[in-house]
Amino acid sequence: MKPGPRRSVSQVDIVDAAFEILEQKGFAAVSVRGVAAALGLTPTAIYTYFPSKNALLRAMVEELLSSLDLAAAADTGSAWRERVHALAAALRARIAEHTGAMVLVTSGPLDGRHALGLNETLIAGFMAEGMSQDDAARAAYAVRAHVLGVAALDAAERVDDAETSADTSTAGALWSDAASHPLTEATEHLVSGDAEPSAFVWGLDRLLDGILAGTAAGTAEGRAATA
């Protein structure tokens, strides 16, 4: 408890404490001071481990991604389509687990070791299906985008439920007016986070249908008329 020259915590302790706060109080509540307090440290002590709050945030993203089983996604024991689904579902679940994790991911670059490893795994997998390196890269990009987009919609839906208050009183007034958006209203249940079958899986399947058409797994028919 006294000043001592030896480290009293580790980088992962700090990241874990930050996740605890993220989960319980949301992204806005994640502060250097708060994390330090949770560990019984002074705010300035954190700067011994991370050069800035942003560096801590990036480390959190990396920890989030580190739990993805890239080895399983590279194991040709099962079909590529199934492996993509498993990987995508895992990534989506990781982001959905923590309140405000999507803001976290969006708040900075995705160039950490694990982020790049994920991309590498996806490209390699599509190439193994017979795609060119260029198209495989585009396909990997599309899959990453799809998962991130779904996570963004997940997050928007979640915070929507949480905010029942009068906070939304301005600049729109009669929003949820039932009659103005009948199709959205009628299909809301199909698209919510816990819908079964999930819109997430449906969309990913259609995307993979389009991507894999003409490859080993495809029907050798609708091969892309694109570059």
Q: Which does 223 bind (CB under 5 to 8 A by kind): DNA, its own copies, none?
A: none
Residue 5 DSSP label: S
Q: Which does 105 bind (CB under 5 to 8 A by kind): DNA, its own copies, none?
A: its own copies
159 interacts with DNA by CB under 7 A: no
24 interacts with DNA by CB under 7 A: no
Binding its own copies (rule: CB under 8 A), the pick from 1, 166, 178, 179 is 166
Continuous segment of H or E residues that includes residue 73:
helix 70-74
Q: Which does 219 bind (CB under 5 to 8 A by kind): its own copies, DNA, none?
A: its own copies
Give least dist CB 136 to its own copies, A. 8
Question: Percent helix, strand, coil in the chain (nearest 5)?
Answer: 65, 0, 35
71 interacts with its own copies by CB under 8 A: no
186 interacts with its own copies by CB under 8 A: yes
- Any idea how long the chain is? 227
Q: How many CA within 13 A on the CB side of residue 87?
A: 28
47 interacts with DNA by CB under 7 A: yes
3 interacts with DNA by CB under 7 A: yes
Q: Which is nearer to DNA, 5 or 182 (CB)?
A: 5
Binding its own copies (rule: CB under 8 A), the pick from 65, 73, 105, 131 is 105
CA dist 189 and 198 (Å) reads 10
42 interacts with its own copies by CB under 8 A: no
Give least dist CB 152 to its own copies, A. 5
CA dist 175 and 193 (Å) reads 22
Per CB under 8 A, contacts with its own copies among 193-222 are 197, 199-200, 202-203, 205-211, 213, 219, 221-222
Q: Which is nearer to DNA, 19 or 80 (CB)?
A: 19
Where on the phi/psi map is residue 83: left (φ > 0), alpha (ψ -120 to 50), or beta?
Answer: alpha
**What would the DSSP string read from start to end of 79-145?**
-HHHHHHHHHHHHHHHHHHSTTHHHHHHTS---SHHHHHHHHHHHHHHHHTT--HHHHHHHHHHHHH
